Structure formats: C-alpha cells, structure tokens
Structure 1
Amino acid sequence: MKANTSVTAFTRLEFETRIERARAAMTRAGLDAIVLTSAANVEYLSGFETQFAWVTPSRPWYFIVPRTGEPAAIIPDIGYSNWRSTSWCGNVMTWPSPRPADEGISLITDHLNGFSRRFGKVGFEIGPESRLGMPVSDLFRARAALALEIEDCTMLMAGLRAIKSPAEVGRIRHICNIAGRAFAEVPATVRAGDSEKDIYRRFAASLLVKGADEVPYVAIASGQGGYGSIIMPPTNRTLRKGDVLILDTGSKCAGYFCDFDRNFSFGKPSADVARVHAALWHATEAGIDAARPGRTAADVFRAQADVLISHGFEVGNVGRFGHGLGKLLTEHPSNAPGDETILAPGMVLTIEPSAMFTGGIMAHEEDVVVTENVAEVLTPRSSPEIEIVAC
C-alpha cells in the first residue's frame, strides 16, 4: 500500500484486522453485507487512495464487504489502475462511466443478490453524519432490485473507525506535529497591517511546506478584544494592535486529520482576554484528564464546562466541546451532554472548550488519544498565556 513517505505504510494485516472487525460488527447488527460509498469508509477498509474519486459527483465508487466471502470493488473503468496500485483488494468489477442510465447499479444488485443470506439485510451509509456517495435515485433503484432489506451501516462504521490502531494514531500524531510547527512560526511571520487573507494563505502554505498532504480546513477570525465566530473563512479585515486572532486547522497527512487551534494577541492582551484564555486552557486540562477509559464523552464535556462556569464564563453555543478525529475532521463521538459513548483505548478526541465574554467568543483546542490510563496529548500543548504578536 502506498503512503506518505514520512509515515509507515499500513500492513496487509492491518486491513485484514479491520475487515474481520467489520464482519463481527455486521453479525451483531444483523447485516449480510455493507455497501460503502464515502471516501473515509472506502479508504478505511480497502486502502484505496485517490483524489479524483472524491472531488467529482459524476462517478460513484462502491466497496462491498460481505459478512462471509470476498470483498469487491465496483468502480468506474477510469479508476481500475488506480485501484489496483493502491488497494489490497483484487476483486474489481468496472463499468464505463459516466453512464447515468446505469452507474454500476446493475453490477451492485446482481452481486448482492448472489450472496448467501442469513439476515436478509444489507447496510448502506444513510444514517447520522453521513454523505451518500451515489445519487439517491440510484439507492431507490437498488432497493427495488434487491432481494434484501436496506438498513443503515453508518454508526457501525463510525464505531469501527473510532478505535484507532497504533499505526493510525502515529499518522495523527505526525500531522499534529506538522501543524504545531506551523503554529509556532505565526508570531514571527504575521504583523499588524496584514489582512486575514494574507495570514490564511501564509499559514496554509507553511503547513504544506512542512509536510501536510492537504489543508482542507483553515478557519480564521479576528477582532478587537475577541472575535465573533470560530468557523469563519478569511476576510480582507486588517489586523491591528488590540486584536485577538484565532487560527484553526484541519490538515491531513497520509489520510488522517489533525484539528486544533491557537489564539494570538496583537500587542499586550487585555485583562479580559488573558483571563478567558487562561480559563479555556484550564478547561482543556480538565477535559484531557477526563478522557480516560470507562468515562463517557458527556463526562469530557462536563469536566470542561464545570471549569468555565467556575471562572464565571458561559459555555457558549456550539453544542459540544470536542469530538472524535481521524479519517474525518469530525468523527463519532461528540463531547456533548447526552452522548454516553464509553471511551476506550485508541479513541482520538479533540478537547475543545469555548466561552462567551464581553469581547465575543474564544475557543481553545487540543487533540488527544485515550490510552489504558491517562490521555496522551498529540498536539504540542499550548501555554496558559496567550501568544503575543509584537506590534
């Protein structure tokens, strides 16, 4: 399997283990097969690597894993050589695509109808936080032609991907280190008079130069004494003394994301800014400490919220204080009230408290992996004091 040269390639055993875990989960869920169409899930089980498949809606790509028997790729002709050079799965069927009248649906239904059945059900990605990688009308056509009931397999796959292998954790640690080095250079490479777009482009370029394969997400916001959003794209706003700047990146290397942010004060921070930044840092510490086996995602939220409340801050309106991380920027579970997902070794989480105050909103974020004991922080840990850009 090909991989970024700076990280270790996944072994065949890694993929065999994933397939067997998927089959065990399918038996528990009462599914005879799963049909995967999303980039994260196809890549996770097949090892397939491509950019082309996921940036155009013209051609759907399918990976089918039966509860018993050989997995199969059903893909457009144009992707055959790409598949064979990157995936361990040699059972490949193709069709000449684009062909809207039949984008592989006849191949899929014939293949699925030929399976031996125990449960009479097949899983598609149609549940929470899913994006179906095929036209919905084709799903309806498949349902009409199949001798199987269609069920959701989204949460089945989310549960599998939530527990990372050591090799997966190594990839996330690697991209966290790359982003950490890019963040460390910000105070020396930005200045009053730069626009948000200037800073955004410089930061994204730094991430790529340092080894990121992709920079799909960089949020940036700024304002006097705080900012109003943590999910904004760059604007032409010019930074000046007294501003607070946030940069938040979801960068990728070898198929895995980091997701963390850093705040910067242009000149000496106000007392309010210093106070909220320190409170967020301590809330993050509490979240890191709560990320232990046997605790829940809701426990991680409450640990952070309790610290913020004790410092006199509102907990904000984002709905959660972090989430799973891996093949996607945001994965299962959510560190939120009501998410009683039990944490287990191998889970990678973001710890992400935010607080409302007179200057607007501020947020802080680190990435951790749950171990047998305490959580390991994968990101270069920030200081309790906000970093200062000289003005």
Structure 2
Amino acid sequence: MASRLFTALRDGTWLTAERIRVYPLIVLVMSVLALGHMLAMSDGLNAADGQPIGTDFSNVYAAGELVLEGRAADAYDWTAHHDVEQAVFGPATPYYGWHYPPMFLAVAALLALMPYLAALAAWQGATLPLYLLSIAGIVRTAPDGAARPGPDFGRFWAVLAFPAVFINIAHGHNGFLTAGLFGFGLLLLDRRPVLAGLLLGALCYKPQFGLLVPLALVAGGRWRAIAAAAAAVLGLSAAATALFGPDVWRAFADSLALTRSVVLEQGATGWHKIQTVFAAARALGAGVELAYGLQAIVTAAVAACVVLVWRSRAAFEWKAAVLLSGSLLATPYSLDYDMVVLGPALAFLAARGLRDGFRPYERSLLALVWITPLVARMTMWATGVPLGTLVLLVLFAFAAAAGLGGIADLDRRGREPAFGAAGPAGPPSRY
C-alpha cells in the first residue's frame, strides 16, 4: 500500500484530467459562495465582523481621499490616515496602514474618485484579467508570438480557482497586479525585452518583491530589459515627485521605521498571515535579531541560486519559477494573498512539463503548491507549522535543483531551450 502511494505521488498518476477539472471547480464554487455570503451579511461598507469589505483596500481608498484633498504626504501619517478610514467606515474601524511608495498614490487617487464599493470592484475587475491573461500567454504563446498547443488547465478553472485568487479578492489586495506584471514581464523577456523591462520595473510599487529582479536580469545578460526597468523606476519616481512634491518622499521615508517595528517585527498583521522565514521564526519564539539573521541567510542563499540559474543554460521555465518563488522567499514580509505570484510560476512549470515531461514528484508538488494558499493561514494559526513557507522553500529548491541539474546535458548539446521551444533541444537563445 505504501509503495503504491509513493509511486502515485512520484509519477503523479493520481492527478488525473478529471480531477484537474473537478477539484478546482469545487474550490471555485466554494470561493464564490463564501464571497457571496460575506456580501449578503455585510452592513453598508462593513462586513459582519465590522471590518471594511475588502479589508486592506480600505487603506488604498483612504490614501486616495487624502491625495484628492491635497494632503498626499498625510497618507504616511498613521493618525491622519486612520482618521480618514474611520470617517469612511465608522469609528470602530481598525487601522489599515498605507506602506506603499509614492508612485502608487496616483492609482489610489483615481480609485478614490469613485464610491468605495465601485472602486473596489473596479480595482479587482481591472487587475484580475491581467493575471488571467498572463497565465494564458504563458501556457499558449511561443517566443515568436505564435500560438501553440498548451494545457487547458481544466478549462481554466484551475487558474481562476487558485485559492490565492479568492484570498486576494477577499482582502481587496493587489496580488493580481503583481502577478500580472511578473507574468507578462517574464513572458515577453525574449520577444519584447524593452516592454518586459518596463513591466518588471513597475514592480517598484511593491519593492519587496523586486529584490531579485535586477540580479536575475544582470545574470542573464538582459541589458535592454535592465535599461527599461531602470527607466520605469526613474520615470514613476519622477512622476510621483511632480504630482505630489518632494515632501511625500520624506514622509514615506519617515514612516518606514514605524512600519518595520509595528507591522513586521511586532507582527501586528498576524504571524499566521505572513508566509516568510522571518515570520515563521518569530511565531516559533525567536527574537527579532535571530529572525532577521535566519531571513538574511535564506535571502542570500536564494539570491545566489537565482544568479546561478539565470547564468546557466537551463530552460527558461526553470529560471522563471526560481525567480517567482524566490521573490516571495527573499523578503521578510509576504502574505498569503501575495501567493497569487505563484500562479505564473505554476503555469511556467506546467507548460514545460507538458512539453518535455514532468520530473519525479513534480506533478504532486505543483498540486501541493496550488492548494497551499487555501490552508496555509489556518495551519499556521492552529498548529504553528509554517506550511506556506515550507512549501515555498520546497518549490524553490526543486526548481533551482532542476535548473542547475540540467546544465551538463544542455552544455553537451550546446543549446539553451528558449521559452516555448518544442522539445528539450530547442533553438539557441538569442541571448
């Protein structure tokens, strides 16, 4: 019995086409019902538990209100920002902090021009297709832009039903934007390096996830993309300065110490929500210094692996998966809704596996990664086991080992399989 179980896990035979269609559909229906119940039980702008509908989106809306009042710098003043949240959602509203760089204030202001629920719907409605289209492009587009056969992902239910999608919608968060920028940036890196660089540079709106991007691009010699990414960062920063004045940067910088102390080090967000090595260490009783030390070791190891894989001739899908999963591991602050970023990683790996064949245990690992956002928070809260962080570490190690393990074979062929190439011995990379 045990041997048959391990064989099924190794070969992935348990993950049949029928299960890929049916199980995600069940999760999707459950997610829709949960969202419907939340809305049905809400009172005005607040859910039944008294928190704003879309919880974290309330901080975006409040920051936008301050911008429209000509008080952009006050978005980083916790008292002023909380006053606006309480004015909109009621005096019992807890504080949802605004921690984004000034370039994101323009988006907040545009959304604040609408009533709150309309703004929330517009934000999720505009960014969800970006995530979905990036996945579609990854699984069905070759480097030259031609369509190619790809996995149907259970008629796309597996993509839409990915539990991180539901968590992101419930929190009104920006995971779809982050995942879409990552997904399209990597998808277009070979064919449209300048556009890809601009998209990857736009990740500066959430800078903790952009730590590894410059390392990967430099290691891969993607110089046009590097230049475009730098231009995007400088351009967005200059635009924010022109719109809101230089004082907004000073206010942002001044707020970072309080954000680091309260939100990260003291765990005001809740350790069970944060899926990082730092949070896992703090939840298990480690002091701040030890937690930072462990996070630094993991971040350095992840960065080194990213450089090695991106310098190698490994298939591009391995490089993409390493960068995407590594970006979540390299920061001390990443929540379960940020796991939407794993959607493009799963798509890259699934596309490669269906083209070249899956490695032992790969199908089962992809299924585990897919379901993890649904149970990571609950598992951490109930047992103290940092399931989300552990699964991220396993995925990263698997992708890095697979990418680096294929170097010898690739060197013998003298070829690097470009993204979407037919078969393991694809055409030589143009880089």
TM-score, structure 2 length as denominator?
A: 0.26
Query: Bigger relative contact order, structure 1 or 2, given CA contacts below 8 A and separation 6+?
Result: 2
| Greater helix share, structure number | 2
More strand by share: 1
Which structure has the larger Rg over C-alpha atoms? 1
Instruction: Give the structure-1-normalised TM-score.
Output: 0.27
